[in-house]
Each structure stands twice: as structure tokens, then as C-alpha cells.
């Protein structure tokens, strides 16, 4: 299986490092292809860089590690190539105001996942994942004992199988928060199962179980 990682910033580079450490093939792409090339060289033979078009074409799974506004442009532009692929969406409805304060970019109750899923072609296998921890925690928490949990949300069986495998390969424990309707629970701001909704805690399986059931451990 090959995973295309579109965007090699905070989230994309971290997931790429974890997947390669777990023995997974990745194809990296970014707006500036030299950044993807530099990361591919750092990660070695399991990683290569490509254009966005070639990366998506050659992959089974596509992680869109870009901001929601970028997805609004990229998904329509590459919709035909995304048909039949598992598409992983880590986005949060987050922006920053002129004072640098975090703001919510979507109305309360509307998840970023619902926006991204609606942009995708009908044949894509959508899953929300890899955005439930802040970037620093995601980078630092692979292969802990006990394993840190990464929540995911999907209505799609093919996507669920793929993301469970990739989360384990990356060194985490997968936990299904629910279907697409539960995407908002694992997004920030506002999601009770996002790291920020868990008071900054990186949950292990016991904490995830109690949190997902809706009561404090």
C-alpha cells in the first residue's frame, strides 16, 4: 500500500515520519515541491516526492494534510483522481485573527469533516483522522507505552480498515469515534474527543473508552 501525503507541514511531515518508521511507503507532495523532495531525501528509500497529480494517481490512500481552504481548491481540481481512493482528512475549522487568536472558521455545529466529505467525489472513501492531536503531540506520541489513541470518524468500511491499519503502523491505537456525523467530536475547537477538548491530554485506550462514552475517567 502507498500513501500519498499532500502537504508536508506540521501534520504531513509528522505522519510521513511515523509511517516510514513503521515500514510504510509514502509519496510526498507540497505546493513547493522542493520541500517534499527534501523530506523524502531525509526519510530514505520508503519515501519519494512527486507532483500532486502523480502522488494521488499512484497511491491507494491520500492524506490531505493541508488547510480547509486549500482543500476547497485541491479537491475539485483532482476529483477524478480521488475516485476510488481512501481520503484522510485531518482538518480542523481553525483560523487566526489579526491578534493571532485562534478562531472557528465554520458555524458552531458544522464540522470541517462534513465540508470536506461533501467536496469529494461519490466514489472516494472518506475518513476523518490524524488531526485529533496538536502537531507537537502527534510528533512526540508515537509508540508510547501504553499506546496513544488516535480517534477517527467515517461511514465507510473500506476507509475504516485502511485507517485502522495506518494508525497502528504509525505507532498509535485507533479508536472509532463514530460515523461522519461524529467528525465534530474529534475536531477543534469544540470537539470533546480532540486533544484540546480533553484538556490537552493525549488519551490512551482506557481514557479514550471513558471519554468516548461521555464521562470522565
Cβ distance to ligand NAP smaller for residue 74 or 211: 74
Cβ distance to ligand NAP smaller for residue 29 or 111: 29
Do 29 and 74 meet the contact criterion of CB atoms below 8 Å apart? no
Q: Which of 212, 175, 185, 197 is nearest to 114 (CA)?
A: 185
Cβ distance to ligand NAP smaller for residue 47 or 94: 94
Angular region, 6: left φ>0, alpha ψ -120 to 50, beta rest: beta
Query: Using CA atoms in the order 52, 87, 70, 65, what is the torsion angle rounded to 10 degrees?
Result: -80
Instruction: Identify the sign of the CA torsion 103, 188, 9, 122.
Output: negative
Single residue of 40, 63, 117, 134 touching ligand NAP by CB under 6 A = 134
* Residues 104-133 close enough to bind ligand NAP by CB under 6 A: 131
Decide: is 74 part of the binding site for ligand NAP (CB under 6 A). Answer: yes
Return the number of other C-beta atoms located less than 10 Å from residue 69's C-beta. 11
Residue with CB nearest ligand NAP?
A: 9
The nearest distance, CB 158 to ligand NAP, in angstroms, is: 22
* Residues 6-35 close enough to bind ligand NAP by CB under 6 A: 6-12, 29-32, 35
The nearest distance, CB 45 to ligand NAP, in angstroms, is: 22
Amino acid at each position: 500500500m502507498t500513501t500519498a501525503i499532500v502537504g508536508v507541514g506540521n501534520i504531513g511531515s509528522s505522519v510521513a515520519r511515523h509511517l516510514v518508521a513503521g515500514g510504510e511507503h509514502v509519496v510526498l507532495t507540497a505546493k513547493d515541491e522542493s520541500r517534499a523532495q527534501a523530506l523524502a531525501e531525509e526519510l530514505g528509500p520508503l519515501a519519494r516526492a512527486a507532483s500532486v497529480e502523480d502522488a494521488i494517481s499512484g497511491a491507494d490512500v491520500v492524506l490531505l494534510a493541508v488547510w480547509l481552504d486549500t482543500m476547497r481548491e485541491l479537491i475539485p481540481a483532482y476529483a477524478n483522481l480521488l475516485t476510488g481512493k481512501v481520503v484522510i482528512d485531518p482538518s480542523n475549522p481553525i483560523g487566526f485573527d489579526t491578534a493571532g487568536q485562534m478562531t472557528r472558521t465554520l458555524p458552531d455545529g458544522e464540522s470541517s469533516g462534513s465540508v470536506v466529505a461533501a467536496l469529494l467525489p461519490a466514489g472516494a472513501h472518506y475518513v476523518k483522522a490524524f488531526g485529533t492531536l496538536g502537531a507537537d503531540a502527534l510528533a512526540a506520541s508515537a509508540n508510547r507505552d501504553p499506546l496513544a489513541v488516535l480517534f477517527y470518524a467515517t461511514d465507510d468500511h473500506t476507509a475504516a480498515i485502511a485507517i485502522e491499519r495506518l494508525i497502528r503502523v504509525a505507532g498509535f491505537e485507533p479508536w472509532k469515534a463514530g460515523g461522519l456525523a461524529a467528525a465534530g467530536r474529534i475536531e477543534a475547537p469544540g470537539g470533546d474527543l480532540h486533544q484540546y477538548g480533553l484538556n490537552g491530554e493525549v488519551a490512551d485506550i482506557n481514557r479514550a473508552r471513558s471519554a468516548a462514552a461521555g464521562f470522565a475517567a
